[in-house]
Structure 1
């Protein structure tokens, strides 16, 4: 190992207190590539977009500009392509044709709930806008997930406003303090911190390339207490604070399955995944919190999770075998705040694989985050809190690890310090080198994102002791 500067030595000592094989997670520490096992990692390119500061959802380009660049990096952390944009990002995905589909935060949102964006744009490889769809008006806002379908349509999640009187007409209990006339326990969820009127349930729209709505599904059309309905009077307990508010169902991801003609969507606040049949528009399966529809025990007091499995979860994904994956944040879980990556078999309602560590705070993220199962069976995990990306094998060994060095001020940093800006990443995606988007493209390494910083990966040269198991340590 080469000689280090005193600063690098100190930082390295702090880092080594948390073994890379256990999914490094720290408030302070090195940024960039931290570990890479070439023999076991899935070779390809990783796409990610730093996004605006999560604790401030108001678009303020002077105080909170957010990153306006999307990055594609190779396995050693070198940039191979970038897309420059006019607006700050939420996240982006790469399409097989080489275009980029990107959620962008625009001014004028009627709400301040975490996850809104308003504008979805498609860019060519060279950065030209070839398609866009905007949902941002006083009673609607696009938020969180989207999905490009095989037929060229695009599925988009939106929040839509319903007045207090409309909610009463649907059976909302006017005596419930969590469902007040303003739709929240405390004011401040509207634009510029103003009180917000009514409630904002979710809807799913399917938009054609011409911008026409080809299909839609609204929570509001499925209100009830049955197993295929959404209970208008169910919400997270008041002890969970701001979650019991006008942002009531809070869906955060959507994926279409062309084999079954079904959508999978995820609700953070209900702690559930739903499968919706596109033809019948029925909820044909739900998982994660049976108490929402009277089929199980709700959490109670300290350490009692009840029958609830998902707590604050994000990013539902269909897998090739028909199973579903989810990043279970574990937020406000009575037994402990602990994040877990799960693969679920909807035919049996069983969790068939999961990744978590003995240390409850290793890769814990109380908001956002994602998990992508790779073709070789590994998983690429995004822990949003600290912009932490890592790849873990089915045997639960970390084989690649990267922490985003680009902060909310759109500048690169070598290390994360107490006084450094936030560096969150909502979701990252790994694409194999044979992904069709890369055909004929120039993917030569262009250097690190944080040029001039120590090459932490080469300096550390960490190797776990023979027989070391981070899960059973």
Structure 2
């Protein structure tokens, strides 16, 4: 896989770089009413059209359906608002839609899909100033507290909230001794200080601002990211909704209290330096492992500087998290997995570890997607060409306002793509440059062995690939039947150099271990 622009200007939007080291995959993103799935050449493989901009997050399901959030007007007029959810099939038909959007609540930012087909959504819930003061608030304003809803999709645009967790049930405050939740904040790190304010912020209604959610199926735990607390929290999903309102019950015996928190000890009047600031996309790296590390996109690592950070939480053998003698959570040492002088996004953004251990990063503020390998080399790079207000940009122009909350890559063998035509058609941008970029296709077991060429005729080189993951032997013969060379290829592809051979007709023969054979004629001019 490579990008070769033949004698033309360099691109300003869309695909900027695609090396043979890039992970074979498809990329999903949206920042306006259209959602795009592109291949590694930046060509549109599928596109879904909605009446709404995304309420930030969207995901492909295993059956090829697209589940996306929808940004709707409502009572919570702030960045990150959603309010609706939509389910489209692969063909683009709207199958289901549902709103969590009224005077007292609104879905926002992120959601994640559970193994049982339900999904977990972040929801703002309004509390009046009077309600807040009864809980010990020192603010004289209404507050937007946070909740997590587990949503089951039902027919006829209906849904059932089968489980929920509300932050309002897990507060502590040291402001009003006559109000609820009064106590020494540092004695209750498993609870959230109702009166904590991030440095530089005022008495804002949106005082927590969760922006990410992820799920660990083995531990049955949920990870949450709070931008304004600059913290990552973990809660227990094994509880009943009733237990989630309390401080006991569930697999870990703590009800809905925080099982773990990390990033900013000042939020619970602890000691130590802050590790994160305004981070996004907190998640487990390997959610199948009981001791999985965690990763975030840390937006404000320093002045005009972002970083990707990874750390190992202090797990105990039963899935709980270690505490010290004073009852404080044991700290960890976060490692910087990527940073660069030019790398900065003060808001939005995402990170994903790919199956080959590469990192796929979305620098949200400038719509810049890139993949890095273990040597921190950029092996794939793409600039979102879409302006939410004006649609795709013209190649060669400068795109503005292309902010993108997140982008996700899906492997060629993802179940969503089974039996589907995954051929890329046109790029997202207008008036694209010609290129010789080639992207491999998923292997379909029932298809015969196939040998695919990036272009034909050729002048010097060609990219070849098979539709099978296993290696097959490739032989090249000249017009007289003389064997010129032998190579080995699979679905990842390989570049062949014909610069030393004269113009003419060549025969490429591919044979796998089962004796299947595919033959292609190649013309060099």
TM-score calculated relative to the size of structure 2: 0.69
Name the structure 1 match of 2:26: 45
What's the CA shift for 1:352? Answer: 4.2
**Are the equivalent residues in 2 in contact too, given 1:264–1:317 (CA < 8 A)?**
yes
How far apart, CA to CA, are the structure 1 residues paired with 2:402 and 2:111? 23
Name the structure 1 match of 2:60: 94
- Equivalences, count: 377
Name the structure 1 match of 2:132: 167
- The structure with the largest alpha-carbon Rg is 2
Q: What CA deviation, in whole Å up to 9, does each residue of 1:398-434 have, x standing for no partner?
A: 11000011111242212454xx541111111000000
How far apart, CA to CA, are the structure 1 residues paired with 2:61 and 2:390? 25
How far apart, CA to CA, are the structure 2 residues paired with 1:76 and 1:100? 22
2:216 maps to 1:251: no
Tell me, what secondary structure is at the counterpart of 2:41? coil
Name the structure 1 match of 2:358: 378
How far apart, CA to CA, are the structure 2 residues paired with 1:127 and 1:80? 12
With CA pairs under 8 Å and 6+ residues apart, which has the higher RCO, 1 or 2? Answer: 1
2:266 maps to 1:291: yes
Tell me, what secondary structure is at the counterpart of 2:130? helix
What's the CA shift for 1:111? Answer: 1.5
**Are the equivalent residues in 2 in contact too, given 1:378–1:392 (CA < 8 A)?**
yes
Name the structure 2 match of 1:327: 297
Q: Any residues of structure 2 matched to 1:174-253 within 5 Å, and which?
A: 179=139, 181-182=140-141, 198-210=142-154, 211-224=159-172, 225=185, 226-237=188-199, 239=200, 241=201, 245-253=204-212
**Are the equivalent residues in 2 in contact too, given 1:328–1:341 (CA < 8 A)?**
yes
Name the structure 1 match of 2:487: none
**Are the equivalent residues in 1 in contact too, given 2:57–2:110 (CA < 8 A)?**
no
How far apart, CA to CA, are the structure 1 residues paired with 2:59 and 2:412? 16
What's the CA shift for 1:167? Answer: 1.2
2:133 maps to 1:152: no
How far apart, CA to CA, are the structure 1 residues paired with 2:86 and 2:350? 21
How far apart, CA to CA, are the structure 1 residues paired with 2:7 and 2:94? 48
2:27 maps to 1:82: no
How far apart, CA to CA, are the structure 1 residues paired with 2:85 and 2:348? 19
Name the structure 1 match of 2:521: none
Q: Any residues of structure 2 matched to 1:113-124 within 5 Å, and which?
A: 113-124=78-89
**Are the equivalent residues in 1 in contact too, given 2:6–2:435 (CA < 8 A)?**
no
What's the CA shift for 1:135? Answer: 0.6
Q: Structure 1 455/343 Cα, relative in aligned 2: closer, same or farther at 3 Å?
A: farther
**Are the equivalent residues in 2 in contact too, given 1:251–1:265 (CA < 8 A)?**
yes
How well do the aligned residues superpose, as a CA RMSD in angstroms?
1.9
Q: Structure 1 80/410 Cα, relative in aligned 2: closer, same or farther at 3 Å?
A: farther
Partner residue of 2:345 out of 359, 365, 387: 365
Name the structure 2 match of 1:435: 414
How far apart, CA to CA, are the structure 1 residues paired with 2:335 and 2:429? 39
How far apart, CA to CA, are the structure 1 residues paired with 2:383 and 2:278? 23
How far apart, CA to CA, are the structure 2 residues paired with 1:254 and 1:370? 12
What's the CA shift for 1:456? Answer: 8.5
Tell me, what secondary structure is at the counterpart of 1:310? coil
Q: Structure 1 369/130 Cα, relative in aligned 2: closer, same or farther at 3 Å?
A: same
**Are the equivalent residues in 1 in contact too, given 2:72–2:81 (CA < 8 A)?**
no
What's the CA shift for 1:205? Answer: 0.9
Partner residue of 2:306 out of 339, 344, 347: 339
Q: Structure 1 166/456 Cα, relative in aligned 2: closer, same or farther at 3 Å?
A: farther
Name the structure 1 match of 2:498: none
How far apart, CA to CA, are the structure 2 residues paired with 1:421 and 1:339? 21
How far apart, CA to CA, are the structure 1 residues paired with 2:227 and 2:336? 21
Instruction: List alignment gaps of at least 5 residues for structure 1.
Output: 13-28, 51-66, 174-178, 183-197, 298-306, 459-473
**Are the equivalent residues in 2 in contact too, given 1:35–1:457 (CA < 8 A)?**
no
How far apart, CA to CA, are the structure 2 residues paired with 1:450 and 1:277? 44
**Are the equivalent residues in 1 in contact too, given 2:215–2:223 (CA < 8 A)?**
yes
2:402 maps to 1:423: yes
**Are the equivalent residues in 2 in contact too, given 1:33–1:456 (CA < 8 A)?**
no
**Are the equivalent residues in 1 in contact too, given 2:6–2:436 (CA < 8 A)?**
no
Greater helix proportion = 1
Greater strand proportion = 2
Name the structure 1 match of 2:382: 402
Name the structure 2 match of 1:15: none
Tell me, what secondary structure is at the counterpart of 1:33? strand
Q: What CA deviation, in whole Å up to 9, does each residue of 1:160-206 have, x standing for no partner?
A: 11111111111112xxxxx4x34xxxxxxxxxxxxxxx010111111
TM-score calculated relative to the size of structure 1: 0.76
Q: Structure 1 329/457 Cα, relative in aligned 2: closer, same or farther at 3 Å?
A: farther
Name the structure 2 match of 1:311: 277
How far apart, CA to CA, are the structure 1 residues paired with 2:192 and 2:209? 12
Name the structure 1 match of 2:428: 449
What's the CA shift for 1:96? Answer: 1.1
**Are the equivalent residues in 2 in contact too, given 1:68–1:84 (CA < 8 A)?**
yes
What's the CA shift for 1:457? Answer: 9.5
**Are the equivalent residues in 1 in contact too, given 2:87–2:94 (CA < 8 A)?**
yes
